Amino acid sequence: MNISADISRNLNLNEIIELDRKYYMKTFGERTPVCFSYGKGINLWDTEGRKFCDFLSGIAVNALGHSHPKLINAVKEQAEKIIHCSNLYYIEPQAKLAALLVENSCADRVFFANSGAEANEGAIKLARIYFRKKGMPEKYEIITMKNSFHGRTLATLAATGQEVYQKPFFPLPPGFRSVPLNDMDALKNAISEQTCAVMLEPIQGESGVHVADDSYIKAVRKLCDDNGILLIFDEIQCGMGRTGRLFAYEHYGVEPDIFTLAKALGGGVPIGALCAKEFVAQAFGKGEHGSTFGGNPLACAAGLAVLEALSEENLIENAQRQGRYFTEKLMELAEKHSSISEIRGKGLMIGVELNNCKAVAVKDSCFNSGYLIGSVGNNVLRFLPPLIVTKDDIDGMVNALDKALSQIEKE
């Protein structure tokens, strides 16, 4: 195959957009008109030389920011040794990363996947096979939360409590029902003889940063114990230090039986993790779960580098400290702008709800000022900066947001 000159040379933004429109599936619609070519720390530069401050982190992925030397060196060194080998053989970085996660969490066993959706698929399979091997195959149903998001595979779509994602793919796999978050009565009423697990995100990210109440999580843990069912936490977005703790469940003083990780775990290199206590992990026997690429040497080397950086650079503490500062600055902004109706979240996982349905316009205005943020629907702004963020970075972001809100409120 001969690569044409038009593809092998560096392209400008318009050329990249044209290729995308012609050849890429339209799953993302019209994207923000920018293409990044380089990143360093919290900043990104596009193909046109413009500089942006990244307060989205690839949707909570780039926890160490961009081009972090520890991550870059780990990936480079591992790539020069071996990128992939089959799970038929032992893999040193895989064993080390599993040990590090277990030694720093409530889990006893880990299985590595390639994404959050795959990790959640593994959690669903593990919960079901656990009860089947206990002689209770009728216990297969999993209760999830409305407005949750667990992935885009058919099973994880069925688990996701948002019909907007589900409807185009009906019929979905059976065995899931959703109830409102923080509604204990609804959860109690949903439990039946078929229930095998309750699955929830301690903080729902994709629906606008909704935090589970402390009393609710404690009550869910007790409800699961009283009914002999499993508790699964999806920490794909809220885990890995983002909330000011290594794992979000630590805020609540309870432990899940199973929890899942992805996004920030590889710092940008795709990897997911299914983590479980021994009593449930042992339900997986030989040949009952697997992955070709899951836990490959390259991804696990990246995961090791991320965990080491979080510890050595006190980034979890920084997330807690800067998250508190960021929230305080946003609260000050709310006193000035009546368009802000609520600020919620933990650590550096923050949602700002607007009452004027102009979140996209505010996001676009921040983009034009050189700041990358997210929007959820028409009325929520989402902030997920790298855990290396500083007060100066936050001050700049708040100033850009102040300017954007002022412009929008005048219109």
Residues with catalytic roles: 149, 234, 263
Q: Residues near 341 by Cβ (< 8 Å), separated by ≥ 6?
A: 353, 354, 355
Helix, coil or strand: residue 261: strand
Tokens of 161: 């409590």
- Gap between the Cα atoms of 27 and 277, Å rounded: 37
Short-list 260, 268, 259, CA closest to 298 = 268
- Gap between the Cα atoms of 208 and 193, Å rounded: 33
Residue whose entry in the numeric block shows the structure tokens 């779509």: 157
Neighbours of 145 (CB within 10 A): 27
Angle at 386 between CA 160 and CA 34, to 5 degrees: 80
Written as one string, the DSSP assignment of 162-231 is -HHHHGGGPSPPSSEEEE-TT-HHHHHHH--TTEEEEEE-SEETTTT-EEPPHHHHHHHHHHHHHHT-EE
- Asked whether the beta carbons of 212 and 199 are under 8 A apart, the reply is no
Residue whose entry in the numeric block shows the structure tokens 């042992």: 282
- Asked whether the beta carbons of 209 and 247 are under 8 A apart, the reply is no
- Asked whether the beta carbons of 194 and 141 are under 8 A apart, the reply is yes
